[in-house]
Structure 1
Amino acid sequence: MKHAEIAPPVLELRDVSVSYRVRGRAVPVLNGVSLSLGKGEVYGLVGESGSGKSTVALAVQRVLPPNGHVSGGQALVNGRDVAALDRAALRRMRARDVAMVFQDPGRALNPSLTIGRQVAEVFEILGSPHGEALRRAESMLERVRISAPARVMERYPHQLSGGMQQRVVIAMALAKDPSLLILDEPTTGLDATIEAEILDLVDTLRREFGASILFISHNLGAIAGLCDRVGVLYAGRLVEEGPVRSLFRAPRHPYTAGLLRCLPRPGLRKDLSPLDTIPGFPPAPGSIVAGCVFAPRCGLADDLCRRVDPPLVPTGEGRLSRCHYADRVDRLPHAGGRPAALRNASGEVDAPPVLELDGLSKTYGVAPYAVHALRDVSLRLMPGETLGLVGESGSGKSTLAHALLGLVAPDAGSRMALDGAALAAEVRRRSPEQIKTLQIVFQNPDSALNRSHTVRRLIGRAVTRLGGLAGALREAQVTRLLEAVRLTARQLGARPRQLSGGMKQRVAVARAFAGNPRLVVCDEPTSALDVSVQAAILNLLADLQAERRVAYLLISHDLGVVRYLSDWIAVLYLGRLLEVGPAANVLDGPHHPYTEALLSAAPSVAGERSGRIRLTGAIPSGVNPPAGCLFHTRCPRRIGPICDTEEPPLVADAQGHAIRCHLPREKLGRAPALAPA
């Protein structure tokens, strides 16, 4: 009797090690990594920047940079050793068996070619005639839930939203029906609703195509919602592995526990407690030659950990952990409460608002092609408070920030005031005092900092321009700012390329505080950072706010960050304010149906996504917005013709919680009750 052959794993790594040659020396970046993916399985790979996640993806496809090489072990795709393939076989594997979706779809698409040409090219490479390739391209775009695919095929990448671009890239990846799909941070930078749609799409297509997926991300909520199993990388070592639900519920390695504790949890606020952080920084590749690689940052480490490298051993439930004290992980101490001196930073009694916006509107272009980016937005912000600004792409968040900073002029009749004084529409017409007291922290410190300047010059120039200090006074102020953002004099001579992502963002924060600002615009200040670095930056912003009474305008699509840092939350949709109020009231409800949909789309490490409210249809065009309620074309709570013809007023309750909806408050949604943390 013949036994049925067992199919090999779609992907198998056997003790894979990878080194990069730097200045004549081999620097190890992966060390003995072993993992496997079965058919149709989704495997998540998490870890801080520099842990080796992307190197795994490159090694699997044999596309390491010229100075990189696999120094040990084997990477097998469908049972074939990738390193042993000749050039023709390697080309066939890349063309048919493995596909990759990158973080930034804008860079993955050719800006000079139409969408149809780019998708059809995949089918042409696989042997289809041009006409058939175009038909198959249209069919594939339809399968990734792109409406009117024929029209989309005629467009160029810049004419599509970020979510649409990512759907096109996924369509191109799946066009060749690969057995292995690698997703490298595919949802970073996307709004919560678009991110949820992309994850739903990937999960649906995984079942349709039967592909195995290697999902690389620092978004632990996305990992929990999509993956079957997860592996945790640290300094090139696999330190924990197991089913995602049980591993996230009860981690058995201090590093995994540290990553999970860094996330802002429901019920945790900036005035009650700082976020947990992982102390120290990841080690330089190859710098730790004895003991556990995580020992220098571990709260459980002792002499055994510093001497003996722990093996990767089973801990039950199909899980593995590389820790001498896996049974003690739940004893790791949490961060303490926030010192009393730093509590209650907001709400100065009888203080005038630091910011007032009255009827702020902004229109781009002229009729009939005018885009109403902002429509009659009125807000105010008190000293020491944070206003969180949320909404999908195209809602007007960035336009509001640009108008506030004087980079774009609002429409006539708009009023802006800073500390009670009128704020001129253009920055060149503002007083030096207004310029220095209104600053910004950008999303990407790499783009915001001049790479050729040292930290001393980056901060010192801001001190001179904004504070008017020179010589010894300037140096003293630079030192004070550096200490305020928890950096030391050792970083003064460093350039941005020599700093970690978190350090670069701290330098950007220090520069923003050089003129003792009254209001700082924080534009996605943590979206590009690992969760451990994100927690440290959020703690820093909360401490600086409490110490200096500065107000923040926080723009973010991460509702966990908004929940932790904000005192007030404003919700924008197509430039219109749909809801504004105290953070707890907006988050707990009653809330606008749009707010309810945004909250339901936020990923959770619990992995529960069944309660998500799915918005149908695309965001309407700002050139021709809907009549009546702007949200009625997508609203799951639409009640009738009144929504189509009459715009509801923005009605506030006694606590200042205003909602623009025809539904009475008692019928609006509320957040489910949470169990005590």
Structure 2
Amino acid sequence: MNAMIESSMLERSTASAPPLLDIRDLRIEYRGRGESVVAVPGVSLQVGAGESYGLVGESGCGKTTTAMAIMGYLGGTGRITNGSIRFEGQELVGATAEQLRAIRGRRVAMVYQEPMSALNPVKTIGAQLAEVPRRHLGASRAEARELSATMLENVKLPDPLAMLKRYPHQLSGGQQQRIVIAMALLARPALLLLDEPTTGLDVTVEAAILDLIADLRKQYGTSLLYISHNLGLIASACDRVGIMYSGEMIEEASTAALFSQPRHPYTQGLLDCIPAIGSAKGMRALAPIPGHLPLPQERPKGCWFGPRCAHFDQSTCAGDSIPLLPVGDDRHQVRCARWQEIVAPPAAVAAGPTAPPGRATALAIANVSKQYPLAGSRRVVQANEQVSFEVGKGEIMGLVGESGCGKSSLARMVAGLEEATSGSIRFEDDELAHAPANKRAKDMLKSIQMVFQNPDSTLNPSHSVAWPIRRALRKFGGFASKAAIDKRLNELLDLVRLPPEVAQRRPAQLSGGQKQRIAIARAFATNPSLIVADEPVSALDVSVQAAVVTLLLDIQKEQHTTLLFISHDLALVRHVADRIVVMYLGRVMEKGLAEEIFTPPYHPYTEALLSAVHSPDASARQQERIRLTGETPSPIDVPPGCRFASRCHRKLGDICDTVAPPVRQASATHQIACHISLENLRAMRPVFEKALPEAHTS
């Protein structure tokens, strides 16, 4: 019955034109010794010619597995046990290796999340790019080189001929991703699969890559299948969206319909996990989705989202499996038995805007510079130069900027993992600039703790996850007896919302969100006065990110801890921070209260960062996007004038290249380092303007 309903809907939706990609009732299993895991029980989707389709869901929902099935890359244990994958009318399920080789790369190509997984570290970029036209287009060596150089121009990489001679390790992350995109597009495929193509990249690099893909799609008529948990990216790049949950499609609609009127409680929950770029701190609370994805062998009867759903009804939702049901005439489908009864709840409202804490200073950074000498040379890499700002007690300071701007090196100096070359770092009347961790007093080590971007860097895979927490309690907490340590350990696990039994598990047995909670518990074990959080949630799903951020804010507020929060997610920084420092190439471009940073006047670099944000927030309307051009100067040979001048869209002239910009005092709390007058900076148009509220209700 359910299959018949879904099949009839698919036929109705494609009556006008045959789809380029047609997946129906796809079932994927992984078989081991004596057992079989059904990763994808049955998913159906279609991508039309020239269409951009977004596939969204939490980690483990089957998005990447579905893409790998299209490519025929399921490994030795993966099997397609039912269903169909038709591409350009040709059936791929059961196709021979030779048939798949004729399609892969030539007609269907893939861009992976980690570009180095697709690049050979011992081959030049030119050699790797040339393989594509030589193999798939029959090009000669000279023709392949010319095609490769032209494609590098298309993906906006400077000096293509020189780039062809480089090796992957000589490129930045954004450049590596552009190379992978160029490689995928060289044979001009009809379908491009993009698996988290911008995860971990700066907002400016992400925006440039999305613009690039959109331009190339228009130029070559390529269809796109985006796989991502970044809903802002999906909202701006896709025509239609499919939401996956535990291996099945639970909602599908046009992008406009899905983001304005999501029907499934899971989709509504995902949207409520995203910080709103248009809301100030304290105006809107994130609403994490409770629970977690069920394991394949633990899927419940009826609605698989039921155990996590606030609208679950035993009599309606726990019986037979639930089909995809039509919603209106916009190819909108939802797998929910109660969708007509459910009204999406309004966004969770926090207590209201919060004034920054009192200005009793906890951390004072004055004229800090950090240089790294180049081996075998008298030259140095300038990581930080004359950085100055203060953080009040109990305050959250957001530190933002592109990769290489000096955020993490500054954080490492505060935490004692690096020494400053010059300048002062004072914390509670102690000077730390030239005091690495191994020279700091025990009380100081206890007072300053760090949460890293990758929790695996603080967890030993051969020990239980409780081991580093126990060690911190023994070394810094003054707990001597096993009973006292165990009691405090359980209190910390409860603080980060983890059950006591997690303590005995190894890191490999925990999810990314659970490991990050352990890292937070480890940081708070010593009752620190200052936490340095370096990109603590950038690699997590939006639902896990919302839970971890909410938890971190709750603990910080309860314990009155000062927090230095580093992130390239500006919407998240606005949700978290009281004050913000914007850095570029080692210098402070702008600093002020959070609300001052998000409204004019602001530095042209801040304006560009805000313009690059892809947000599905309906409360804020974004103006025309600013596309940065030019190259970032080398930190080895920094220009004498404004560091941002080579890319600035508001550059005044030679003065920007040759003279260091003055620091303009926009208010008592707001400073901007720029040659442009305050009068002209105030006249700038806001990047985001308030829009009429569009509540996603039925």
Question: TM-score of the superposition, structure 1-length normalised?
Answer: 0.95
Q: Counterpart in 2 of 1:430?
A: 440
Q: Is the 8 A contact 1:299 1:332 kept in 2?
A: no
Structure 1 vs Structure 2: percent identity of aligned residues?
Answer: 47
Shifted more, 504-513 versus 368-377: the winner is: 368-377
Q: Counterpart in 1 of 2:206?
A: 195
Alpha-carbon distance in structure 2 between the residues aligned to 1:640 and 1:596: 19
1:49 to 56, 59, 74: 59
1:327 to 321, 340, 345: 340
Shift of 1:309: 2.5
Amino acid at match of 2:483: A
Shift of 1:30: 1.0
Alpha-carbon distance in structure 1 between the residues aligned to 2:85 and 2:119: 28
Q: Counterpart in 2 of 1:420?
A: 429
Q: Is the 8 A contact 1:290 1:308 kept in 2?
A: yes
SS state of the match for residue 443, structure 2? helix
Alpha-carbon distance in structure 2 between the residues aligned to 1:466 and 1:674: 48
Q: Counterpart in 2 of 1:137?
A: 148
The answer to whether the aligner puts 1:162 opposite 2:173 as a matched pair is yes
Give CA-to-partner distance per residue, 1:43-98, whole Å, 9 cap, x none: 10000011100010111111113222112111122111112212211211224221
2:305 to 294, 298, 310: 294
Note the residue ranges of structure 1 that are not aligned, 5 or more in a row: none
Cα distance, 1:34–1:590 mapped onto 2, change above 3 Å: same
Shift of 1:23: 5.1
Q: Counterpart in 2 of 1:83?
A: 93
Alpha-carbon distance in structure 1 between the residues aligned to 2:98 and 2:348: 55
Q: Is the 8 A contact 1:603 1:609 kept in 2?
A: no
Amino acid at match of 2:369: S
Give CA-to-partner distance per residue, 1:231-267, whole Å, 9 cap, x none: 0000111000011111111101111111011101135
Q: Is the 8 A contact 2:451 2:533 kept in 1?
A: yes
Alpha-carbon distance in structure 1 between the residues aligned to 2:387 and 2:463: 39
Amino acid at match of 2:317: C
Give CA-to-partner distance per residue, 1:159-216, whole Å, 9 cap, x none: 1111111110000001111111110000001000100000000011111121111100
Shift of 1:319: 0.6
Shifted more, 611-620 versus 39-48: the winner is: 611-620
Q: Counterpart in 2 of 1:662?
A: 675
Q: Counterpart in 1 of 2:326?
A: 314
Alpha-carbon distance in structure 2 between the residues aligned to 1:113 and 1:379: 45
Shift of 1:488: 1.5
Q: Is the 8 A contact 2:472 2:525 kept in 1?
A: yes
Alpha-carbon distance in structure 1 between the residues aligned to 2:180 and 2:197: 10
Alpha-carbon distance in structure 2 between the residues aligned to 1:264 and 1:10: 35
2:690 to 658, 664, 674: 674
Alpha-carbon distance in structure 2 between the residues aligned to 1:539 and 1:325: 29
Aligned residues: CA RMSD: 2.0
Q: Is the 8 A contact 2:623 2:687 kept in 1?
A: no
2:21 to 4, 11, 17: 11
Question: TM-score of the superposition, structure 2-length normalised?
Answer: 0.92
Q: Counterpart in 2 of 1:442?
A: 452
Amino acid at match of 1:358: A
Q: Is the 8 A contact 2:51 2:223 kept in 1?
A: yes
The answer to whether the aligner puts 1:512 opposite 2:523 as a matched pair is yes
1:264 to 275, 298, 305: 275
Shifted more, 135-144 versus 538-547: the winner is: 135-144
Q: Is the 8 A contact 1:291 1:305 kept in 2?
A: yes
Q: Is the 8 A contact 1:578 1:659 kept in 2?
A: yes
Shifted more, 229-238 versus 469-478: the winner is: 469-478
Shift of 1:493: 1.6
Cα distance, 1:537–1:318 mapped onto 2, change above 3 Å: same
Q: Is the 8 A contact 2:534 2:567 kept in 1?
A: yes
Q: Counterpart in 2 of 1:69?
A: 79
Amino acid at match of 1:646: V
Give the length in aligned residue pairs.
Answer: 667
Shift of 1:334: 4.7
Amino acid at match of 1:153: L
Q: Is the 8 A contact 1:359 1:376 kept in 2?
A: yes
Give CA-to-partner distance per residue, 1:523-559, whole Å, 9 cap, x none: 1111111111111111011101111111111111111
Shift of 1:574: 1.0
Amino acid at match of 2:429: G
Q: Counterpart in 1 of 2:635?
A: 622
Q: Is the 8 A contact 1:258 1:276 kept in 2?
A: yes
Amino acid at match of 2:51: E
The answer to whether the aligner puts 1:651 opposite 2:664 as a matched pair is yes
Q: Counterpart in 2 of 1:354?
A: 362
Note the residue ranges of structure 2 that are not aligned, 5 or more in a row: 1-14, 694-698
Shift of 1:380: 1.1
Alpha-carbon distance in structure 2 between the residues aligned to 1:433 and 1:87: 63
Cα distance, 1:14–1:672 mapped onto 2, change above 3 Å: closer
SS state of the match for residue 30, structure 2? strand
Q: Is the 8 A contact 2:281 2:578 kept in 1?
A: no
Cα distance, 1:437–1:141 mapped onto 2, change above 3 Å: same
Shifted more, 575-584 versus 609-618: the winner is: 609-618
Shift of 1:226: 0.7
Cα distance, 1:269–1:463 mapped onto 2, change above 3 Å: farther
Alpha-carbon distance in structure 1 between the residues aligned to 2:526 and 2:32: 41
Map 1:402-417 to 2 at 5 A.
402-412=412-422, 414-417=423-426
Shift of 1:653: 4.0
Amino acid at match of 2:690: L
Alpha-carbon distance in structure 2 between the residues aligned to 1:368 and 1:601: 37
Shift of 1:314: 1.1
Alpha-carbon distance in structure 2 between the residues aligned to 1:497 and 1:274: 31
Shift of 1:570: 0.4
SS state of the match for residue 165, structure 1? helix
The answer to whether the aligner puts 1:493 opposite 2:501 as a matched pair is no
SS state of the match for residue 537, structure 1? helix
Amino acid at match of 1:32: G
Alpha-carbon distance in structure 2 between the residues aligned to 1:176 and 1:429: 57
Map 1:1-40 to 2 at 5 A.
8-22=18-32, 24-40=34-50
SS state of the match for residue 318, structure 2? helix
Give CA-to-partner distance per residue, 1:120-175, whole Å, 9 cap, x none: 12222233222222222111111211121011111111211111111100000011
Q: Counterpart in 2 of 1:120?
A: 130
Q: Is the 8 A contact 1:578 1:660 kept in 2?
A: yes
Shifted more, 294-303 versus 397-406: the winner is: 397-406
Alpha-carbon distance in structure 2 between the residues aligned to 1:6 and 1:243: 17
Amino acid at match of 1:326: W
Q: Counterpart in 1 of 2:8?
A: none
The answer to whether the aligner puts 1:639 opposite 2:649 as a matched pair is no
Q: Counterpart in 1 of 2:10?
A: none
Map 1:85-124 to 2 at 5 A.
85-124=95-134
Shifted more, 273-282 versus 506-515: the winner is: 273-282
SS state of the match for residue 340, structure 2? helix
